[in-house]
């Protein structure tokens, strides 16, 4: 406006004496840091179905619909792996659906504790091999329900809110910070290509690159 006044494009400044009101918009937190991630996992009760859903999201980075599509036959305790090859339609309740893309069909490694918790859930609820783990009378929890449970859990341990999808970002961020390669993280998340992972977590990759550069200089300095 001042430039326009100086160039005589306008004869007066229409913004003069305008008072800007409202509150500044805070950037929403997209993921938990490593310590908060651990706190959340330790405060969950895996014997509770909704808590177990949150737990699985936190330790696998799976999408919500992917978790709802899990059946007992997808687990292989011997190889400690979980096969992800379908999703569940929790919005329109049409049953099993395809994964988001071809790359989303994947097998991921899981830890012994997760396998044991899932096994106990299956046995306690007498779930058939081809039946989704988290249905109640054939109906899965909607996203609003699981997000509320997650918010209440975070509030109970004084951690700022993230969405359920933020658990996926948290899982990926933790792995990257712990030194897992971008390629491995990309495959675990089921991204269509590694560039998706790189663009989504560019800020982390840049931070790790700076640390790597320091390591490179340190190595060269010993020559």
Q: What is the pLDDT of residue 80?
A: 96
Half-sphere exposure of 150 (CA within 13 A, CB side): 26
119, part of any domain: yes
CA 84 to chain centre: 16
25, part of any domain: no
pLDDT in tens, 46-55: 999 999 999 9
Give the Cα separation of 146 and 217 in Å (integer).
Answer: 47
pLDDT in tens, 23-38: 655 657 899 999 999 9
pLDDT greater at residue 142 or residue 4: 142
3-class secondary structure for 192-209?
A: CCHHHHHHHCHHHHHHHH
Q: What is the pLDDT of residue 222?
A: 86
11, part of any domain: no
Using only the alpha carbons of the chain, give its radius of gyration. 23
**CATH assignment at residue 206:** 1.10.443.10
Number of domains in the chain: 1
96, part of any domain: yes
127, part of any domain: yes
Give the Cα separation of 172 and 175 in Å (integer).
Answer: 5
Q: What is the pLDDT of residue 118?
A: 97
Q: Which domain holds residue 74?
A: 34-212
Helix, strand, or coil here: 89? strand
| pTM score, whole prediction | 0.85
């Amino acid at each position: 406006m001042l430039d326009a006044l100086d160039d005589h494009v306008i004869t007066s400044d229409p913004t003069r004496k305008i008072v800007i009101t409202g509150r500044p918009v805070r950037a929403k937190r997209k993921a938990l840091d490593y310590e908060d991630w651990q706190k959340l996992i330790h405060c969950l009760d895996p014997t509770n179905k909704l808590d177990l859903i949150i737990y699985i999201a936190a330790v696998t980075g799976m999408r919500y619909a992917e978790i709802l599509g899990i059946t007992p036959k997808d687990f292989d305790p011997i190889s400690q792996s979980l096969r992800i090859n379908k999703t569940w339609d929790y919005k329109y309740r049409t049953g099993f659906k395809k994964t988001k893309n071809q790359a989303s069909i994947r097998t991921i490694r899981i830890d012994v504790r997760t396998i044991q918790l899932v096994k106990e859930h299956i046995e306690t609820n007498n779930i058939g091999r081809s039946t989704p783990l988290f249905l109640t009378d054939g109906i899965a929890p909607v996203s609003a329900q699981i997000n509320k449970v997650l918010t209440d859990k975070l509030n109970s341990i004084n951690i700022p809110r993230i969405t359920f999808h933020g658990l996926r970002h948290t899982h990926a961020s933790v792995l990257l910070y712990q030194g897992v390669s971008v390629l491995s993280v990309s495959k675990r998340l089921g991204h269509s290509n590694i560039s998706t992972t790189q663009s989504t977590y560019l800020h982390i990759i840049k931070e790790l690159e700076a640390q790597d550069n320091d390591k490179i200089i340190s190595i060269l300095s010993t020559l």
